[in-house]
Amino acid sequence: MNISKEAEISVLGSIMLGASYHSIENIITAESFGIEIHKTIFTAISELAAKAFDIDQITVSDRIESNTGQVIDHILGDMVVHACAPNNLESYAKIVAEKASLRALEANSYKSNVMVQEGCQSSEVADYISSEILAMSTGSSGMSGGSIGRPSKNF
């Protein structure tokens, strides 16, 4: 699967060590992460940033525990140890975003193959593929901000 566990951990750890969340908020979303717990962590970070709260291992842990009841201090501690240097944060965020795009393309490829097998017309399959690629390139609709890797249309 198209996931860079190392890049995801590096991004999250770096932000918890004080790197600027705002430098990557337009590059990735929680759905850009391929590992579910990383989505949860990034969501907590985003919530803290939106309220202008400090973002560190303790505040993120507290936010996750209050939101989900999960205690993940050991995971956050490992992330901080493997954080990238702040000047590399955007590069690692771009890797996370690229992997999310590749997962979305894989999902669309699978869905278009299913459509063909189910007897859909070639024009319908082409329209589906075109709309999903357009949505990915513009950052709108089902492929971003909530469902990276899952097509947004039902057929």
Interatomic CA distance for residues 45 and 30, integer angstroms: 9
Q: How is domain 5-96 classified at the architecture level of CATH?
A: Orthogonal Bundle (1.10)
Note the pLDDT of residue 111.
Answer: 87
> Quick one: CA dihedral 98, 39, 20, 74, positive or negative?
negative
Q: How confident is the model at residue 140 (pLDDT cuts 50, 70, 90)?
A: low
Note the pLDDT of residue 135.
Answer: 79
DSSP string, 53-84: ---SHHHHHHHHHHHH----HHHHHHHHHTPP
Domain borders along the chain are 5-96, 99-143
Q: How confident is the model at residue 145 (pLDDT cuts 50, 70, 90)?
A: very low
Percentage of the chain exceeding pLDDT 70? 88
Note the pLDDT of residue 54.
Answer: 96
